[in-house]
Amino acid sequence: MSEALEADYVIVGAGSAGCVLADRLSADGRHAVIVLERGGSDIGPLIQMPAAFSIPMNMPLYDWGFRTEPEPHLNGRRLAVPRGKVIGGSSSINGMVFVRGHARDFDTWEAMGARGWGFRDVLPYFRRMETSHGGEAGWRGCDGPLHVTRGRMRNPLYTAFIEAGRQAGYGITEDYNGHRQEGFGVMEMTVWGGRRWSAANAYLRPALKRKNLRLFTGVEVQRVEFDGRRAVGVMIRRGRRTQIVRARREVILSASSINSPKILMLSGIGPASDLRRLGIEIVADRPGVGANLQDHLEIYVQYAARRKITLHRHLNPVSKAVIGAMWLLARRGIGTSNQFESCGFIRSAAGIEYPDIQYHFLPAAVRYDGRAAADRHGFQVHVGPMRSKSRGRVALASSDPAAPPSIRFNYMSHPDDWAEFRSCVRLTREIMAQPAMAEHIDHEIAPGADTQSDAEIDAFVRAHVESAYHPCGTCRMGGTDDPMAVVDPQCRVIGVEALRVVDSSIFPQITNGNLNAPTIMTGEKAADMILGRDPLPASNLEPWIHPNWRTAQR
């Protein structure tokens, strides 16, 4: 990188949205594009084998290693905040679950000031980005770069969980990414040909064949450089050398909901009083930078199994070696699945218009680090509320670009969070008590049969709740007259020129389910904006809403 570096567009971050932008902005050959990534290669079985996803998520080579500040409502626990530090970003270390979000999520964005981001506007981009294998015709894409598939459902516990939902009185959805999210059904994953189909595999790797796209890895972006109020490039460090990478048209931050606000603040865009205390010159006083931090929390409701049909038999070195060999030699076997193959989306109470609880079912009782939670056969559901009212923040701990930011989610700081988790526990127990699942259960491992009262459930949540790793919202999109908005509906940073943010940090409110799909959609829609193209024609499809949602919970 000793040569002078300059391009039309400089993209910071080769993650889910950054990979999309790299592909779409370079596609017609008219614009030079540079992508800067802190991490390195995503090649290798630990990332590419779907069943191994919990390994890179816990490796410093691939993960930034962020942790929260002590969370005051969770016994002062510091929770992990994995973010991908590798080509593909978090799409290279995530659980590969594919959830678009509910239509009402995006209508809410628009109501919050994100004009042009309603469901009718974003659905065409969801379709453009994917090739759906088994999805609902008309609602799903059929020729996009991102392959979305379904597991083979070979373990009987997957179908038992769906049937238990039906027996409990909930509906069945044939495609929760189609017209009806609410109900129980088969879960989708970004896996293709037995491999993790990350944004790097779907978008970036094919695009790198073009001469007008360059990728640099191992790059620490220190700040955005300005000429007056216009962004003209970024200051980077690679090894011991620092230099400026210049942008003739725009700088685009796609560095995650943690690092994008960090880079903005290091560049003088953020809460002025906080930045002055660190000796950072103010370019634009935007108090919303780093604020509005949101996430999904979840607990694992775990059960001991009556029969030896779970994945526990594979949680030993010999079996793992066999699984790995099958995957390496033939891309076959258990290694080709993330193991999340059935799911549910339900409403916790009457009067709630669309689902506010999500289930992932797993035919094993394990933790996210891959270790067994019990030395016997078992299974679990990951369950948590979708729209917590708690809000946190990302702040600079230092003006040193190499220093990690301060992260505090303020988890469970709103009283409604506790009531919602009590509902999660009790509704889950009711579902698992249905005949389809009851025949497989020996006993409840966690929270445990003795955990019944509100206080007991609250204590369990306080001690054991975990992040689902869906941080977002720290560079919130909104109107230019909104003092807490960071970017306008064109993803342009308010108060400066030639600088955009395009990643999950711009979400005004967290969406239902896992965030990788809406993040990729954001990259797709933003690419048209950046290139000055007309948006795709709006859709007139309407989502399914329970006809009696005002008076019925199911």
Residue 470 among the catalytic residues: yes
Q: Is 95 annotated as a binding residue?
A: yes
SS3 392: strand
Packing angle between helix 103-111 and helix 119-129, nearest 10 degrees? 130
Tokens read off for 368: 């996210």
The size of the chain, in residues, is: 554
- Euclidean distance between CA atoms 213 and 246, whole angstroms: 15
Tokens read off for 26: 């370079």
Can you give the C-alpha Rg of the chain in angstroms? 23
- Euclidean distance between CA atoms 71 and 77, whole angstroms: 6
Residues with Cβ within 8 Å of 465's Cβ and at least 6 positions away in sequence, in order, are: 74, 297, 298, 299, 384, 411, 412, 421
In order of 106, 109, 145, 530, the CA distances from 508 in angstroms are: 9, 6, 27, 20
Q: Which of 122, 38, 53, 61 is nearest to 91 (CA)?
A: 53
Identify the helix (H) or strand (E) that includes residue 5: strand 5-12
Q: Give the alpha-carbon dihedral of 262, 267, 269, 275, to 10 degrees.
A: 80
- Euclidean distance between CA atoms 472 and 294, whole angstroms: 5
Q: What is the DSSP letter of 204?
A: I
Contact predicate 172/162, CB 8 Å: yes
| Residue with token string 């009851």 | 438
In one-letter notation, the amino acid at residue 246 is: R
- Euclidean distance between CA atoms 503 and 253, whole angstroms: 8
Q: Is 322 annotated as a binding residue?
A: no
Residues facing 183 on adjacent strands: 345
Task: Indicate which residue of 73, 377, 440, 470 is catalytic.
Answer: 470
Q: Is 221 annotated as a binding residue?
A: yes
Q: Is 35 annotated as a binding residue?
A: no
* Sign of the torsion formed by the C-alpha atoms of 263, 265, 266 and 267: positive
SS3 294: strand
* Residues 504, 17, 268: CA angle, nearest 5 degrees: 60
Q: Is 259 annotated as a binding residue?
A: no
How, if at all, do strands 130-132 and 146-150 pair?
Answer: parallel
Q: Is 148 annotated as a binding residue?
A: no
Binding-site sequence positions for FAD: 86, 94-97, 221
Binding-site sequence positions: 86, 94-97, 221
Supply the residues annotated as catalytic: 470
